[in-house]
Amino acid sequence: MHTENMNMLWAGLLIEQFDRAGVDCFCLSPGSRSTPLVAALAGRPGWKPIVHYDERGAAFYALGHARATGRPAVCVTTSGTAAANLFPAVMEAARSRIPIILLTADRPPELRDTGANQAVDQVNLFGRYARWFFDLPCPTREMDPRAVLTVAAQALHHATRRPRGPVHINCSFREPLEPRPDGRDVSDYLEPVSGWLAQSSVYGEHVAPVGTPDPDALDALAASIRSARRGLVVVGQLADETETFAVQALVRALDWPALPDITSGLRVGGGAECLIPYYDLLLASDAFRLRHAPDVILQVGGRLTSRRLLDYLASARPSPYALVSDHPDRDQPHHRATINIESDVAAFCEALLPRVEGAGNQEWLNAWRSASQAADRKIDELLAGSNALSEPAVARLVTRWAGRDDGLVLASSMPVRDANTFGDGNAPCLRLASNRGASGIDGTVATAAGFAGGLGRPTTLLIGDLALLHDLNSLALARNGAVPFVVVALNNNGSGIFHFLPVAGHADLFEKYFGAPHGLRFKEAAAMFGWKYHAPADLPSFEAAYTRARSEPGATLLEISTDRIANHALHLDWQAQVVAAVEQHV
Ligand SMILES: Cc1ncc(C[n+]2csc(CCOP(=O)(O)OP(=O)(O)O)c2C)c(N)n1
Ligand SMILES: [Mg+2]
C-alpha cells in the first residue's frame, strides 16, 4: 500500500480492491491530474499496465480485454477532454453489456467552474450510458477508508451484475499529485481497515442475485414449444463461452432449426446439426421465405446483424415469440416479441432443456438444413472458380484459416456482415467479437488488440479502410502484443457499404459524400508503427501470407485492394447464384 500522502493512499485503496477482485487489465494515458492513480498502479510488482497516448483507444482496449475475459478492465485518464474521449467505448460497453471501470481524475471543487486549466464538467459525464457514477471527493482524513473501499466494491458490482456495463468514478485530487511523503503517520487512519489489509479479499463484496427464469413462464413456454410444428431458434450475441455452450446444448436437445448470429459463437464452428449457418442467404429467396414461416420463435441473446433476418422475423406471425435476455431492456426494433423473459441465458437454457427435449420436427429441420447445405456448396463452387481476391471470399477464408479458438474481430460495416453471410459454418470454433452494440467504426484496432491481450490466442481483425484510418494510431497499441496479431484490411478506397443503400443511385451526391474515396494505402503506416506488411494480389498469395502471419509472433498488416463497384456487383451476383441453388431445394 502506498502511504506517502492521502492522494496516494486513496488511489492505493481503490486499486487494491480492483486487484483483489481479479481485475488484470489497467489502461493508462499520460496526464498530470491522474498521477496518484498512475503511481499507485505503476508501483505494483509484476504488473504491466497498458500505456497508450489516446484515451479513446485505451478505453476500447479495455473493452476488448473485458469482452475476451468477462472480467472488468480499468481505464485511467486525466481531466478535461481526455475523459470525454472515453465516450465511444462507454457507449459500446453499455450497449454490448461489457464491464469496464473508468477512473477519471478531476480538479478539486474550488477549481471547478472557474476557468481553471483543463477543467470541464465531468460529473455524470456519460449520462445514462454509465451503469453507475460516483463523484469521489478529494482524499481526506475526514472520510473513513472503508467508504473508499465500498466505492470500489460498488463499482465492481454495478459493472458485473446483469446487465453488465461501464461504471464511472470521478476522482478529485488536490496537489501535490506526485507520491511525495507528507510526513504524517497513517496508522491511525488505516486502523479501521487493518483486518482487510491483513487479508486478500475484497472489502464489502457484493453478491448478485442468480438470474433464474420464472418457473411459470418456463412451463408455459415449454408447453408451446412441445406443441409447435415449425419452431425456430434465433441466437443473437452471447456474452461468453458458458452461454454459447448452454445454447448449443439446448438447440441440440430441441432439434429445431437454429439461426445463429455471427456474434453468438455458433455461426462458425457451431458444431450442432440443427444450426443453419447460411440463413441470411436462404432468406434472400422469396420462395424460401414464403414457404418457411415459423409458428413459434425462441430468440436468445442480444442484437442481430442480419437485416434480412430482422425483416423475416418482423413479417412472421408466431405465437409465442419469446425473447430471452439477461436485461430488462427492449432488444427488438421490430416490436414482435410476445413475451420477454429476463434471465441469465445459460440458466434459462439449462432449465428449459429437460422440458423440451425432442420437440423437433424432422421434415421442417431438414428443409432448412438441406437448403443451407446447398448454399454452402454453391459458395464453395463460386470460390473455386477464381483466384481473385474479393471481400466475401476473404471473409469466408479468414474464418476457415484461423486456428481453433483463435480470436477473430470483425469491424462494423461490411466485414461483420460478410462474415455473417459467407463465413464458413464448418470452420474451426473461433472466439468472435464485433462492436455491434453501437456499431461504430471507431476504436476497432484497439478493441481487437485488447481482445487479443485478454484471450492470449492468435487474433485476426478483419477491417475496412475507413475503420482502419479512423483508429490508425492504435497500431501503436497492438504492436507489442504477446500473441500473433493479424490485421486483414480490405481497402476499397472508401465506404463500400453505402453502395448497398438507395443513396447509391444519386450520382451527384454519392461518390463525394458517401463513397468518400481517399486514395490512401497503408504500407507507410505499417512501417511507421513497426508492423510487418504484405499486399497479396490473389488468393494463393493471401493464404500464404495469412498463414505465416497467424503463426508468427508480432503484428502483421495484410492489405487487400478491392473495388467498391465491383464488390457490390459481386455480392448481387453471388447472392443470385446461391438463391437459385437454394430454390432447387424449396
Ligand atoms: C464512428 C462512426 N462514424 C460513422 C459511421 C457510419 N459508417 C458506417 S459504415 C461506414 C463506412 C465504413 O467504411 P469501411 O470501414 O472502409 O468499410 P466498408 O464499408 O468499405 O466495408 C461509415 C462511415 C459509423 N458507423 N461509426
Ligand atoms: Mg472501405
| pLDDT 10s digits, 201-220 | 999 999 998 889 999 999 99
Nearest residue (CA) to ligand 1, atom 24: 440
Hunting for cell 483508429 — which residue is that? 471
Q: Report CA 442 to chain centroid distance, whole Å.
A: 13
**Residues whose CB is less than 8 angstroms from the CB of residue 190 and which lie 6 or more positions away in sequence, other chains included:** 1, 3, 9, 145, 197
Q: Give the bridge partners for 133, in sequence order.
A: 168
The pLDDT confidence band at residue 480, using thresholds 50, 70 and 90, is confident
Task: Specify the ligand 1 atom closest to the Cα of 491.
Answer: 16
Q: Which residues line ligand 1 (CB under 6 A)?
A: 412-414, 439-442, 464-467, 492, 495-497
DSSP, res 426: T
Task: Specify the ligand 1 atom closest to the Cα of 442.
Answer: 1
Nearest residue (CA) to ligand 1, atom 26: 440
- Tell me what the mean pLDDT of segment 356-377 comes to: 94
Dist. CA 470 → ligand 1 center (Å): 9
Dist. CA 179 → ligand 2 center (Å): 47
pLDDT in tens, 449-461: 999 999 999 999 9
pLDDT of residue 210: 86
Q: Three cell numbers at 325? A: 435476455
How big is the CA angle at 282 (ends 279 and 287), to the nearest 5 degrees?
Answer: 145
Cβ–Cβ under 8 Å, residues 224 and 355:
no
How big is the CA angle at 26 (ends 20 and 29), to the nearest 5 degrees?
Answer: 150
- Tell me what the mean pLDDT of segment 488-508 comes to: 97
Tally of residues, the chain: 586
Hunting for cell 475496412 — which residue is that? 464
Dist. CA 96 → ligand 2 center (Å): 24
Q: Specify burial of residue 291 (Cβ count, 10 A radius: 0-12, 13-18, 19+).
A: exposed
Task: Specify the ligand 1 atom closest to the Cα of 88.
Answer: 1
Dist. CA 535 → ligand 2 center (Å): 16
Cβ–Cβ under 8 Å, residues 244 and 301:
no
pLDDT of residue 272: 86
- Tell me what the mean pLDDT of segment 103-112 comes to: 96
Q: What is the mean pLDDT of the chain?
A: 96
Q: Which of 203-212, 418-427, 447-456, 485-494 has the lowest mean pLDDT?
A: 203-212
Which ligand is nearest the CA of 491, by number? Answer: 2
* Residue whose C-alpha is closest to residue 306's, from 422, 431, 440: 422
Q: Specify burial of residue 74 (Cβ count, 10 A radius: 0-12, 13-18, 19+).
A: buried
Hunting for cell 471507431 — which residue is that? 442
**3-class secondary-structure state, position 325:** strand
Q: Which of 391, 394, 412 has the most ligand 1 atoms within 8 A of CB, as the residue to mutate?
A: 412
Where residue 147 falls (left for φ over 0; alpha for ψ -120 to 50; beta otherwise) is alpha
Task: Specify the ligand 1 atom closest to the Cα of 412.
Answer: 9
| CA 293 – CA 314 distance, rounded (Å) | 11
Cβ–Cβ under 8 Å, residues 36 and 42:
no
**3-class secondary-structure state, position 113:** coil
Q: Three cell numbers at 174? A: 488536490
Dist. CA 440 → ligand 1 center (Å): 7
DSSP, res 275: B
Cβ–Cβ under 8 Å, residues 331 and 310:
no
Which ligand is nearest the CA of 391, by number? Answer: 1
Q: Which of 169-173, 478-482, 511-515 has the lowest mean pLDDT?
A: 478-482
- Please determine, for residue 74, whether its predicted confidence score (pLDDT) is greater than 90: yes
Q: Is the pTM of this model over 0.95?
A: yes
Sign of CA dihedral 154, 155, 157, 158: positive
pLDDT of residue 114: 92
Q: Three cell numbers at 209? A: 442475485
DSSP 170-231: EEE-PSP-S--------HHHHGGGHHHHHS-SPTT---PPP-PPPHHHHHHHHHHHHH-SSE
Nearest residue (CA) to ligand 1, atom 8: 413
Dist. CA 467 → ligand 1 center (Å): 6
Q: How many C-beta neighbours within 10 Å does residue 493 have?
A: 18
Q: How many C-beta neighbours within 10 Å does residue 210 have?
A: 9
The alpha carbon torsion through 322, 326, 331, 336 (nearest 10 deg) reads 10
Q: Which of 85, 441, 513 has the most ligand 1 atoms within 8 A of CB, as the residue to mutate?
A: 441
Q: Express as a percent the part of the chain with pLDDT over 90.
A: 93
Nearest residue (CA) to ligand 1, atom 12: 495
- Tell me what the mean pLDDT of segment 283-295 comes to: 97
Dist. CA 375 → ligand 1 center (Å): 28
Cβ–Cβ under 8 Å, residues 399 and 419:
yes
Dist. CA 133 → ligand 1 center (Å): 31
| CA 289 – CA 542 distance, rounded (Å) | 36
The pLDDT confidence band at residue 45, using thresholds 50, 70 and 90, is confident
pLDDT of residue 154: 98
pLDDT of residue 105: 98
Q: Express as a percent the part of the chain with pLDDT over 70.
A: 100
- Please determine, for residue 46, whether its predicted confidence score (pLDDT) is greater than 80: no
Q: Which of 495, 501, 503 has the most ligand 1 atoms within 8 A of CB, as the residue to mutate?
A: 495
pLDDT in tens, 512-551: 999 999 999 999 999 999 999 999 999 999 999 999 999 9
- Please determine, for residue 258, whether its predicted confidence score (pLDDT) is greater than 90: yes
**Residues whose CB is less than 8 angstroms from the CB of residue 495 and which lie 6 or more positions away in sequence, other chains included:** 413, 464, 466, 514, 515, 516, 564
Nearest residue (CA) to ligand 1, atom 13: 495
Dist. CA 471 → ligand 2 center (Å): 14
* Residue whose C-alpha is closest to residue 186's, from 247, 135, 140: 140
Cβ–Cβ under 8 Å, residues 388 and 405:
no
| CA 586 – CA 580 distance, rounded (Å) | 10
Helix 55-69 with 87-96: angle, nearest 10 deg: 20
- Please determine, for residue 125, whether its predicted confidence score (pLDDT) is greater than 90: yes
- Please determine, for residue 574, whether its predicted confidence score (pLDDT) is greater than 90: yes
Dist. CA 525 → ligand 1 center (Å): 20
Q: Give the bridge partners for 235, in sequence order.
A: 260, 300
Nearest residue (CA) to ligand 1, atom 23: 495
Nearest residue (CA) to ligand 1, atom 25: 440
List for the chain the helix, strand, coil content (%; round to 5).
Answer: 45, 15, 40
